[in-house]
């Protein structure tokens, strides 16, 4: 499986620590993803134009399904390109809380989690042979969260594409601040 890793930076502030997780792709992966989007767009548009020109009444169901599937995959491919260009994750650890923000350029909402209520912080454990693991580690997706915790009955995941070593470091830092 072809995967990619994230780059992290850790800064200490007066309030606590700020961890910034930057998505990283190798240059050939970025080029391959952009070429795929261009080819997918052109072939899809040509297919749509051909169906509009030659369509009859009984082909509209196929036409609608085609547009929906084509648009779905185009959306997620463009989303992946945008994430790898301008996305990052912010994790701020203070004595009282863990603040998390998945930022798409200047967009994104910070969520604060009380460290007293935060439970069972650990690495995401997926079977090496599972489809979910292979899909999350693929460079063309926005996924691959490596850290999970329980917060008021809800599972929260973050740490996109962190290596296991980096994920363990982040978990240790959060657990250390929470004491």
Quick one: which of 107, 46, 44 has its CA closest to 72?
44
Q: How confident is the model over 146-166, as a mean pLDDT?
A: 88
User: Where is pLDDT greater, at 39 or 153?
Assistant: 39
pLDDT at 5: 64
Same domain? For 77 and 99 the reply is: no
Q: pLDDT tens digits, residue range 113-127? A: 988 888 888 888 877
Q: Which of 38-47, 79-88, 123-132 has the lowest mean pLDDT?
A: 123-132
pLDDT at 1: 39
pLDDT at residue 2 is higher than 50: no
Confirm whether 1 is domain-assigned: no
How many Å apart are CA 65 and CA 48, to the nearest integer? 11
Confirm whether 73 is domain-assigned: yes
Confirm whether 97 is domain-assigned: yes
How many Å apart are CA 76 and CA 33, to the nearest integer? 11
In percent, the amount of the chain with pLDDT more than 90 equals: 30
Query: Using only C-alpha atoms, what is the Rg of the chain?
Result: 20
Domain span at residue 173 reads 6-26+85-177
How many Å apart are CA 82 and CA 72, to the nearest integer? 16
Same domain? For 79 and 123 the reply is: no
């Amino acid at each position: 499986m072809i995967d990619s890793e994230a780059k992290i930076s850790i800064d200490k502030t007066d309030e606590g620590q700020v961890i910034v997780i930057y998505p990283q792709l190798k240059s050939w992966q970025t080029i391959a993803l952009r070429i795929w989007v261009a080819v997918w767009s052109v072939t899809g548009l040509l297919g749509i134009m051909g169906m509009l020109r030659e369509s009859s009444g009984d082909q509209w169901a196929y036409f609608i399904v085609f547009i929906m599937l084509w648009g779905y995959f185009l959306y997620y491919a463009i989303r992946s390109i945008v994430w790898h260009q301008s996305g990052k994750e912010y994790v701020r650890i203070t004595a009282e809380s863990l603040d998390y923000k998945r930022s798409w350029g200047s967009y994104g909402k910070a969520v604060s989690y009380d460290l007293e209520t935060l439970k069972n912080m650990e690495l995401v454990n997926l079977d090496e042979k599972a489809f979910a693991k292979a899909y999350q580690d693929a460079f063309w997706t926005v996924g691959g969260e490596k850290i999970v915790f329980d917060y008021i009955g809800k599972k929260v995941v973050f740490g996109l594409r962190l290596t296991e070593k980096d994920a363990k470091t982040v978990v240790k830092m959060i657990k250390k601040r929470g004491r």
